[in-house]
Amino acid sequence: MTTCSAPGKVYLFGEHAVVYGEPAVPCAIERRARVTVEPREDGRVRVDAADLSLDGFTVTWGESIDDRPDIDVPAPLVEAAMEYIEAAVAQARDAAGAPDAGFDIAVESAIPLGAGLGSSAAVVVAGIDAATRALGTELDAEAVARRAYRAEHEVQDGQASRADTYCSAMGGAVRVEGEDTRTIDAPALPFVVGYDGGAGDTGELVAGVRALREEHEFAADTVETVGDLTREGERLLGDADPDSEPDDALLADLGELMEFNHGLLSALGVSARSLDAMVWAAREAGARGAKLTGAGGGGCIVALDPDPGSQRALEFSTECEQAFRAELATEGVRVEEP
C-alpha cells in the first residue's frame, strides 16, 4: 500500500491567458489530495473517492468507464472525476510497463472539486506517483508533472495547460509559459481564499474565451495584457527576499496587479456575481488585492492579506460558503504514511 499527496494551488496571475502561450504564476497551497494505492491481480480498478463530492462515491471498473456507475451524485461530476483517475492510472501503467495492472485506489481531498484550486491536478499528480511507486517504479517530480499534464490534456480535449499539474508536482511558486516550466523563489505570501460553494465548467469557460478572442481584437489584446501584468508580477517576486516576510510595499504592488487581473478576466466573461462580491468584500476589508482564481464562473477567489480582516469579511459575506487562510506549500508531491 502506497500513499502520496499533492497540493492544490491558487493563481497569483495568468489563468486563461496561459492557454494561449502567455505566462502564468500559480502558487501551491497547503490544501492536499491524498491518494492511496494497492495493486490487485485481476486487472480491475476500484476507486473509493469519499471526498471528491458532497456524498462521495465508490466505483469499480475494468479497462474503461464506459459503463457509468449508478450512484447518487451528479453524473457530470462523477464522469469528470473518474476520467481524471482513469487517465492517471493509464499513465502509471505506462510508466511502470504494466499495462494490465489493477489497483484499489482511495482518494481523500481537502480541495473542493471544480472550485479553481487545482483539485483534479492534485489527484492526478498524487495518483500517478502513488500508483507507479506501488508497482515498483519511482519517478522524480518533473517526470510526474509531465505525465500528469498528459493525463489532463487528454481529459480536457487538448485545452489543458501545464500550470496546474506542474505547480502541484513541484510545490511553491512556479512560472509556466507554453512548454517552459520552472520554479521561482517567492516569499510566504499571506493568501486568504473565499469559496462560494459552486464550480464553473472549465471547458465551457475556456471555449467562451476562445470564441471571444477569435471574434474581437480587443479580447485578444486583453489576453496579451494579462500576460504583460504576469511578467510584471514575476519581476516583483524576483526582487523580493524569499526568506523574509513580504513587506507592505510588495503586497500593495502585487495586490494592484491582482485587481487588474480580475478586471481583465471579468471583461473576458469568466467571473461571476458571487466571485465579484467576494472580491469586493475582501478589498473593502483591507486586502491588498483580490481576484478570482482558476477557470471562474464560480468557485474561489484569492486575496492577499496579512491581517484577519478579509477572512472575517468573507465569512460574513452571503456569497461565501467557506473562507480560510492558505499557506504557501513549499513541498509538492510527496510520499505519506498510509
Using CA atoms, how far apart are residues 196 and 218, in angstroms rounded to an integer? Answer: 30
Using CA atoms, how far apart are residues 39 and 261, in angstroms rounded to an integer? Answer: 45
Using CA atoms, how far apart are residues 80 and 235, in angstroms rounded to an integer? Answer: 36
> How far are the Cα atoms of 29, 95, 122, 273 from residue 262, in angstroms, in the given order?
20, 39, 24, 13
CB 128 within 8 A of CB 82: no
DSSP letters along 131-156, please? Answer: HHHHTT----HHHHHHHHHHHHHHHT
Nearest Cα to Cα of residue 274 among 305, 318, 313, 311: 318
CB 83 within 8 A of CB 90: no
Nearest Cα to Cα of residue 249 among 264, 236, 263, 265: 236
The catalytic residues are: 164
Using CA atoms, how far apart are residues 157 and 174, in angstroms rounded to an integer? Answer: 24
